[in-house]
Structure 1
């Protein structure tokens, strides 16, 4: 009995440690999820600005093209100042285009990292669900074992009480049968008193001490169940957040598609700007 108590106490301690480790892991993943959500919102904001920036660059590029055509038509009559101004505007546009290309690349890298983080979080969430299921199974098994031990102890106490009553009846019958033998009766009475005292001590030890151990174990078990319930509640919150993150994954994919489209437009702008530089150089050579 004592070894069983120690075994279950060790099991309770092990479960408590497992529950604490699980809670720390869940808290860590919740923080990672919050950080990922923040980064995703930042990526969405950056992606949302790209179309407007590209539109402005296209307008300025069209203006530079028109100005370069005008200077090309004017030929030698074009003033050096006008040519210098065109070159300066072209260089400024090139610098802005380069910054925008860098920003697109940065957002693409961030989007790829977000996708990886999303997969990692989903995988860890599945692991947490499996660990919680194992933890709950061990907890239920421990509870069943404690209840079975408690029932067994109660049965032992009942049997002991019944045996005591039966023995007392036998002694009374013996007293009636040997009433003519006072010395024998007196001896039997002493035996009865000793047996009664021993049985009372055994009953007290069986009912009081082990039951206190069981109360302690059941109290620890209730506390552990409460802790696991809290962890389960935390996991539900994490699942809700992960569900939101799954929805964000669709947005991530949309952002990636938008980035690809923006990159294509930027490539076209880059080609047009390179052509414009060539034209400006030719005009400069003619002048």
Structure 2
């Protein structure tokens, strides 16, 4: 494919993507969330409220021009802590998917291309792992280990690779009998070349859609662990922990729980809308 064709296809895809309201809204939400998280130390009004700071004179303050999201039970600015909490959630997502996707993709490629005992062993292990709900496994691992960001990442990543293995395996099985793969084999291309240079590029669109959808679910599971006290320990700001601690003061001081919960919803919704938009763009099916 010539350079002009590549540029033309890129513009066509961008045109289709930009005409999809779902994709555009999701993209704006994701970019906004990432920007707020990265710039949190510079744009938050009370950056020192991230740590173990108390200001009892301003405790339980409702949302105002000074404290946009109000203050918590020890007087810390909730907007500041929500922004830093979003950093933790996005970091969790990047690390979990950064571990799970390569493992799942490689296993799926190997099982789908080689077949035989390789397929049987990999896919039976995958089936066993898929039978365990990720949240249940994450709860079990987090309960055994000391609650921390690292252990939360480990707990969630432990089973997340299975979905990508199943997805890539299904695509690879369809592609391994295609003419371009048989042509590469006839020309003497190595198996590594066929797997990673011929088959893998044809899986990228489905992997991208799956990754976008997974990001929202990882954020929700991470928040669930923190809500149950099995995630990041205070005083480090975490959205799930803030929702849990604020729930003790409902309904009088609703902002302490509701606004961090809205932040979780905002980020997760953005990734899901982006994933739906990418799925429509690439016309990908069955990636959930």
Q: Same fold (TM over 0.5)?
A: no
Greater gyration radius: 1
Tell me the TM-score range normalised by the shorter chain.
Answer: under 0.3
Question: TM-score, normalised on structure 2?
Answer: 0.24
